[in-house]
Amino acid sequence: MIPPVFQSLREHDYHPRLAATQGLGLVLFSSPDCGTCRRVEALLPAAVPVDAMLFHVDVQQSPGLARAFDIFHLPDLFLYRAGRFHARLACEVTPTTLRRAIDVALAKPPEDEP
């Protein structure tokens, strides 16, 4: 069960909803069968900046997004700022480590969306 602080995204609304998001958005790609994903889902609300929007993509329900973004390992985290892709985050999901990874990513120019 996805915590209620997450907004679900599907293939048909992924880009429009993120484009309309002001500030930071963090997208978690996961699967209900993934134990690590469930742990990350539980930790993320306390690990991200208070004003960040949290989004969730169930790759079993949206396999086209998983293919489009080359999602091979779960969980996977994408950082958006002002509705635009900024970076893929590859770090341990603890409050300190994730906040540091977000700060480092935001200090760099945005990357191209995968």
Q: How high is the pLDDT of residue 3?
A: 52
Residue 49: phi, psi to the nearest 5?
Answer: -55, 145
**Coil vs helix vs strand at 40:** helix
Label residue 5 by pLDDT band (50, 70, 90): confident
- Look over the chain and give the mean of its residue pLDDT values, rounded to a whole number: 92
Label residue 2 by pLDDT band (50, 70, 90): low
* pLDDT one-digit tens code per residue, 37-79: 999 999 899 888 888 999 999 999 999 999 999 999 999 999 9
Q: Which domains does the chain have, with CATH numbers?
A: 6-107 (3.40.30.10)
Burial string for 39-55 (b: 16+ CB within 10 Å, else e) reads: ebbeebeebbeeebbbb
| Nearest by Cα to 92 from 110, 111, 77, 114 | 77
Evaluate whether 110 touches 86 at the Cβ level (below 8 Å): yes
